[in-house]
Structure 1
């Protein structure tokens, strides 16, 4: 996208969370980018780079086990994910796998997530096990090589949305075959017996079931 806006010699680096660093070859190019209305609309904010910067946010994948079938809904997993932060997405579902669910969350939780805790569904206790798997990372589209000056100037921006065309690059070989869907559960969950379309994903549960996470 930057290339199409006339910034031909650009390098983008993912810094963690929703932060990216943009490296440019001249100070005047940096100033042009900082004042570009279109570019500014892609980011929540733009700042000059400083050496002490560390992203406090992390976007990580978490495995969740132990959720009962009648509470198997997006609302349940969103509530569990809210223990550590904000849910970003859910792993694409499988008709024959209800043993675990993998979710992606944005969190400020500094330590590795590994917890066992109780949830209450219809006044009954269930023990849920959660384990952090790996950090989500961002890949950028390649642009034509342009010779860089030695006095590169850097800026960084906090991304409000992920650049179209980028891929989820998980540091786990299994994840290469796993997709993430924005409409995994839709607005409701159907009972497996009521699914009419062959090949359509089938789910147990009711999104209105009250789930307490303790």
Structure 2
């Protein structure tokens, strides 16, 4: 995932770039921006509704998230939540289109229709 860090002056940016001890814990690599184009990536929280209780587990939620991008977060205590009708996962997606769609979860000889929607930013 790429982010843009801006500075008022070029010499401040260069000093920051040269201080890997400062930025190393947060970033794997830094480059000075000189107009290069980056892929669109963003982190979204997906709300998933309609998962049958017998299929509600960490791995199923991870696979559903992976339909839309790279799953970054799945709650570990899936079955301990009081509301089992809705679950959220964090996903890194490579587009800027809002996610609101039905998907089909297949298990054995059955299919279950799930509603997956991106949470609104407020």
Paired position in structure 2 for 1:99 = 85
Contact 1:66 1:126 (8 Å CA) reproduced: yes
Q: 1:110 to 1:59 in 2, by over 3 A?
A: same
| Separation in structure 1 between the aligned mates of residue 104 and residue 19 of structure 2, nearest angstrom | 50
Give the structure with higher Rg (CA): 1
TM-score, normalized by length of structure 1? 0.48
Shift of 1:127: 0.8
Q: 1:167-214 CA deviation, whole Å, 9 max, x = no partner? A: xxxx2xxxxxxxxxxxxxxxxxxxxxxxxxxxxxxxxxxxxxxxxxxx
Checking the alignment, whether the CA contact within 8 Å between 2:69 and 2:92 is kept in structure 1 is yes
Partner SS, residue 125 of structure 1: strand
Distance 1:106 1:34 in 2: 26
Structural mapping, 1:159-174, within 5 Å? 171=122
- Are 1:39 and 2:25 an aligned pair? no
Residues 19 and 55 of structure 1 are in contact (CA less than 8 Å); yes or no, is this contact kept in structure 2? no
Question: In 2 relative to 1, CA 18–30 (structure 1 residues): closer, same or farther, beyond 3 Å?
Answer: closer
Match of 1:175 in 2: none
Give me the whole-angstrom Cα distance separating, in 1, the residues matched to 2:111 and 2:10.
Answer: 60
List, as ranges, runs of 4+ consecutive aligned residues in structure 1 with deviation greater than 4 Å: 50-55, 91-94
Report deviation, 1:48. Answer: 2.0
The unaligned stretches of length 5 or more in structure 1 are 1-16, 136-170, 172-214
Which of 110, 113, 116 matches 1:127?
113
- TM-score normalised over the length of structure 2: 0.79
- CA–CA distance in 1 between the matches of 2:55 and 2:6? 43
CA shift, 1:52, in A, is 7.2
| Offset, 1:57 | 0.2
Which position in structure 2 is the counterpart of 1:118? Answer: 104
Q: Which has the higher helix share?
A: 2
Structure 2: distance between partners of 1:103 and 1:116: 16
Q: 1:34 to 1:52 in 2, by over 3 A?
A: closer
Which structure has the highest strand share of the two? 1
- Tell me if the contact between 1:60 and 1:134 (Cα under 8 Å) persists in the aligned partners: no
